[in-house]
Structure 1
């Protein structure tokens, strides 16, 4: 264990002071680097579930989990930072008591966590996680409850990432893409999902008018991807109009410019080439 002098009580006190000092230095470093305010804030479980959309949950029982997979909390997001370093002296007494027990080799009960994908959120045992980090441990025993969500948590690192996930979840409720189509339509700006959803619904309305029959959202989503998005993206790539954007971002930008500049909902090589020339000029 770190800082082992042979006097467990003194070592436990030093463990806490070291953890507090690192939390303060980390916050200062983030400020000097002008990083986002949420870079050192642990993820709130309820906000993550709301953004991703809860489907179900099941108990998995006692498991050994990696400490670095624990990224959030159910209700203690103000007492510890993202790496479970204490943010104030308020937790000191209980923290040091647990650190002392660990150093004396006493039995410490497992924590309780929720699992979303490969991320874990503490329901009970925040101080135990914090002490384990401070003592340099890599794993911890935990009773795990798995929560399944509509979206996977891939890409969620900070609280701000939840905004994009929330807009994507709403977009996929409006435009229920599946499989390859679902994976292909990706935006960086959350508001782009709202604009693209409006665009696809308008496309579907025009399609139903042309065909004189009703189609549900799933059918519209499937046909939009196959008949509109895929061929148009192919033309945009040939015309070198995708660039550093995602394919969906390029589609949204160019489709908006198409109507603004050329006043048409049609796509053709001539339309794409005219857009390329006018946008570059």
Structure 2
């Protein structure tokens, strides 16, 4: 407390005009209002289930496998695109309203006084990932600028290039999905083998299923060959001959108009997981399958490799093949 009082006294001594003194006095009310707004927003966020936490830069770097940096120099950046911080992501909420008082309050008041009396403050330091920013140094400056409703702020920018799209309203669960995608791309290198491809899911747990499909494709490619196919061979075969044709069919059908918040990849994943119900609903019964055995097997194969999706159709397939167990059943 003694140090805090001394800090206040020294700061007041530096004020040579009444304007500065008035601005500093006014800053206490401004901070208290901002602090109360942070409390209210956090309560509403908890009730609605919409996270108002800043993202941790370290967490994003780890999840998205970011390694390289590029110095972009001094720029004016939009405040609305700053969504995280290095180390201090719990001290402010998503709109950089202050959650803590104490020493943070005094620092905030000093920055506010400088900003409102024309003195100004130095540029902040940020990291850029796609179109969003993370504060390396200058959290209080961002908080004050937000409270003063500035649109932009000067910053020294260091970019971390990424293949992922990050928007200002990204939520923690969406970051989890991007982490899974990063793992998928790291293992398959699909973004290098097929640069134009962008597989996007809106729910977690989907990319691991794709890896299983690719594993089965690799097994099938190796049948009857002296040399085992590489992972690259399997990825290309899986995407070109299985995944891409089905996605193209879904897009051409126009069915995605009925699912505006989902992607074609979501729908295909859902079809894979619910094949048994789909067969029953569309009357793909025993009689139909016996008459149209080749068509049925092609239908199953197009949707996915059933051994991967685990959709419990082994018995039906055995019946179609005259009671002989299929080679996939033995895996």
Kindly indicate whether residue 212 of structure 2 is the aligned counterpart of residue 198 of structure 1.
Answer: yes
Q: 1:68 aligns with which of 80, 86, 89?
A: 80
Q: Is the 8 A contact 1:167 1:191 kept in 2?
A: yes
- Between 1:199-208 and 1:112-121, the stretch displaced more is 199-208
Change (3 A) 1:255 1:22: closer
Residue 30 of structure 1: how far off its partner (Å): 2.0
Which structure: larger Rg?
Answer: 2
1:186 match: 200
Change (3 A) 1:27 1:192: same
2:7 match: none
- Between 1:155-164 and 1:51-60, the stretch displaced more is 155-164
1:21 match: 36
Write the mapping of 1:244-255 to structure 2, written as runs, cut at 5 A.
Answer: 244=259, 246-255=263-272
Gaps of 5+ in 1: none
Q: Is the 8 A contact 1:52 1:152 kept in 2?
A: no
- Measure, in 2, the Cα distance between the counterparts of 1:43 and 1:206: 43
Kindly indicate whether residue 141 of structure 2 is the aligned counterpart of residue 124 of structure 1.
Answer: no
1:77 match: 89
Residue 246 of structure 1: how far off its partner (Å): 3.6
Q: Secondary structure at the match of 1:148?
A: coil
1:97 match: 110
1:137 match: 150
Residue 238 of structure 1: how far off its partner (Å): 8.9
Gaps of 5+ in 2: 1-18, 280-284, 286-292, 304-310, 312-331
Write the mapping of 1:1-281 to structure 2, written as runs, cut at 5 A.
Answer: 7-33=22-48, 35-36=49-50, 39-90=51-102, 91-154=104-167, 157-178=170-191, 179=194, 182-183=197-198, 185-233=199-247, 244=259, 246-255=263-272, 269-271=295-297
What is the CA deviation profile of residues 22-69 of structure 1, one whole-angstrom value per residue up to 9, with x for unaligned ones?
Answer: 111211222333x14xx1100100111111111310211111111111
Residue 208 of structure 1: how far off its partner (Å): 1.9
Residue 197 of structure 1: how far off its partner (Å): 0.9
- Measure, in 1, the Cα distance between the counterparts of 2:294 and 2:207: 25
Return the structure number with greater relative CO, CA threshold 8 A, min gap 6: 1
- Measure, in 1, the Cα distance between the counterparts of 2:252 and 2:108: 61
Q: RMSD of aligned C-alpha atoms?
A: 3.4
TM-score (norm 2): 0.70
- Measure, in 2, the Cα distance between the counterparts of 1:268 and 1:231: 19
Q: Secondary structure at the match of 2:153?
A: strand
